[in-house]
Each structure stands twice: as structure tokens, then as C-alpha cells.
Copies of this chain bind each other. A is one copy, B any other.
Amino acid sequence: MLKDNNTGTPSTPSGRIRHRKRSTEVIPDASKANGNRLLVNDQSKYKSMLIRTYSTVWMIGGFALIIYMGHLYIWAMVVVIQIFMGKELFSLLRKAHEDRQLPGFRILNWHFFFTAMLYVYGRFLSQQLVNTVTSDKFLYKLVSWLIKYQMVICYFLYIAGFMWFILTLKKKMYKYQFGQFAWTHMILIVVFTQSAFTVANIFEGIFWFLLPASLIVINDIGAYIFGFFFGKTPLIKLSPKKTWEGFIGASFTTIIFAFVLADIMGRFQWLTCPRKDLSTGWLHCDPGLLFKPEYYSLLGWVPEWFPWKEVSVLPVQWHALCIGLFASIIAPFGGFFASGFKRAFKIKDFGDSIPGHGGITDRMDCQMVMAVFAYIYHQSFVAPQNYSVEMILDQVLRNLTFEEQRALYLKLGQIFLDRQFGQP
């Protein structure tokens, strides 16, 4: 039995089965002892691969079904994943002995968790609801009221938790309790930052959620396969099972897939149209220039040998390349971070919910880094192109009363006048 010299724990077969996907099982000691032994030659590993493949296929199938069902269901999936992650992470640094002396201390975590949920989603939900229920005056007022006071409600829920924490501080447990308090907050930030961005992406068009998420999965699988068959050179000390061969192979795979997938996904209005309310029906929209093909004529020698004269590219495919680049170069650092963390606290996996993969959190590490990037990228480089007049007009007609609309109109007119005559 090999000893994993970095964690100091024996890596039993069952332990290995639960290794992370991008891992390539080139354990430094072993590779020194046996020369550059490839994983592909290690027969005992095929069983592990089978289990992983099996659960991967199931996950992808379920995922596709949810995508087909639409925005609200994807959102629900995100919430479920979040709750599982919260569960895994909350119990990670918990000490049973200390907890027994602190009744109700675990509930406090969930109090903060659901307060954060109310804050992040309440905000988002009510904005969408306003769009959904404009026809009903009473509901409209109710939702407007909720939007208006949502911050106060969440703030007081938070403060209640904060006071609860302080009033239940127990002598000799201070350090443990403050540690747990900080840990809870770290979890909430990590889990909710990413999920807030993810949900925002979904409603900008499933495309902006699906493409980044798929690319992370493809990069994971790519690294696993390339590492499995060619992995020799260790990539990073932190995570001795990752190899340069896996990393580079996966990068090329991911970038190619990014370009191809964007072309395919870009053809479905279901994926490209934004959804501005909470309805679930079919979507129709003008997807905009980004999703209209541009034609590039090919160089002289291609038409001579092949029956193609020009190639059509959706402009969004260039954006997809940037996202693919990020997914293959920077997002893996999310995985390194998680590896380092697990090493620091001497744990193998964050949980055991998915056979062959570990916990949900183990599968989400890079996804989290990616979701934030995808959102910021979309907001900064994609969305502004169709920001503007129509959007603001929409807001004006939706959120202002007739009198307010008129007031706005008059003020604008005044500003133009001032500007024309050079007044401040």
C-alpha cells in the first residue's frame, strides 16, 4: 500500500476511488520508484474510472433535463446545491465535543444561511416578480413594499443572529465559538457570492450560465483523461495528482469546445434570450447581433481543395474563447485552493454525496470561480452593447407613476436646455 507523503494518511483503494477528477494518480514517491509509470497501465484504476464515469453520466443527464425545463428549475437546482454545500461545509470544522455543550449553536449557522438567502434571492426574486405581476395592482404594491423593506428585514434578521451569538457565548468556548462564527461567514460569502452571480447569469440567458459551467466540466474531464493516458510531470506540489500533461491537454480541449459549443448553443433562443420575469413559457426574442452569424471568406487554397468558400462565425464565439481561456487557465486555481484547504485540515473530501466524486463542494470549487468571472465578463463586455435607451425606458414605464414619469421628462428637458446655454 502506498503512503501519500503529503497528507500523511495511507491512501487506501476506497480512498483513491474518491479522488478528485483531475487527479492523475502519479504519486511522486511511486513514480520515482517505478520510473515514469503511466496511470493507464495500472489495471486497478479502471474500476475507479468506471464508477466516476457512471455518476458523471447520470449527473450530465439530469443536468440536461433541468436545462430543458427552464430558468426557474435551474435556479431551484442552484439552491439545492447551495444547501448541500452549506451542510458539507458547516459540519467540516465542527467538533462534536464542543457542540454538545452548546445547544442550538448549529441552528445559528442555518439562521445566517437563510438570512443570506433571503437577502440575495429576495432582492432578485422581487425584481423579477415586479415584471411578472404588473397587471395586478395589489400584488404589485405588495412586491414593491417587499423590495422597499427587504434590506431592513434582512438586516434585523442578521442582527438577531448576531445578538443571539453574543448572548450564548460560553466561558472557555469563546475561541471555538468565534472561530465557528468566522467560518460560517466565510462559507456564506463563498456560497452566496457565487450563487448570486450564477442566478443572475441564468436570467441573462441560459447561455451565460450553461457555457461556463459546461466548460469547467469539460476541462475537468479533459484533465482527467489526458492525465490518465499521458500524465507524467507533476504540476503543483499542493495537488500531487495533477500533471502538466493533463493541464495542457485540457486547456486545448476546453478552448476548442468553447468555440464549438458557443456555435451550437447560440442557435437556440431558449438559451440565448434573457428572461425578465418568473414565467416558464417558451421564449422568443431578437437575440441581437452577437448571435447573428458573420461570414468570413476562406483563404485561397481552402476552396481549391474543399467545397467551402466561406465560414460563418457567431460573434459570441469570440467571447466564448475568452471564457474558455479563463476556464482552462485560471478556474483550476479554484481546485488548487480546495486541494490546499483539504490538505491543511487533513480531510480527503468535503463530503460523500456523489459516488466517485466526493462531496458536492468538491465538484463546485472551479465552478464558483467561473460563475463570478462569467457574470463580470458578461456585464462588462457583453451586456452594455444592448444596455441603453430601451432598458431605461422600460424601467421608467414600469417603476414610476404617471406623475413621476412626467417629472422625469420635465427635468430632462431642463437639463438639455441648461446644457445648450452653457449653464452648469
Contact = CB atoms under 8 A, between A and B. Distances in A.
Interface of A: 6, 135, 148-149, 151-152, 155, 159, 162-163, 165-166, 169, 171, 174-175, 177-178, 182-183, 185-186, 189, 237-238, 330, 333, 336-337, 340-341, 343-345, 369, 372-373, 376-377, 379-381, 384, 387-389, 392-393, 395-397, 399-400, 402, 404-409, 411-413, 415-416, 419, 424
Given A152-B376, A345-B175, A340 B169 contact: yes
A405 B380 CA distance: 21
Contacts of A381: 152
Contacts of A392: 392, 395-396, 399-400, 408
Contacts of A406: 416
A396 B416 CA distance: 12
A contact face: mostly helix, strand, loop, or mixed: helix
A404 B389 contact: yes
Given A166-B238, A376-B152, A400-B388, A186 B182 contact: yes
How many chain copies does the complex carry? 2
Contact of A174 (B336, B343, B416): B343
Given A169-B237, A189-B189, 15 more contacts: A135-B424, A151-B376, A159-B330, A162-B333, A163-B333, A169-B238, A174-B340, A178-B341, A178-B345, A389-B400, A389-B404, A392-B392, A392-B396, A397-B415, A412-B412
| Residue in A238, A337, A396 with the greatest tally of chain B CB atoms within 10 Å | A396
Nearest to A152: B380
Nearest to A326: B159
A163 B332 CA distance: 10
Nearest to A380: B152
A6 B340 CA distance: 37
Contacts of A155: 372-373, 376
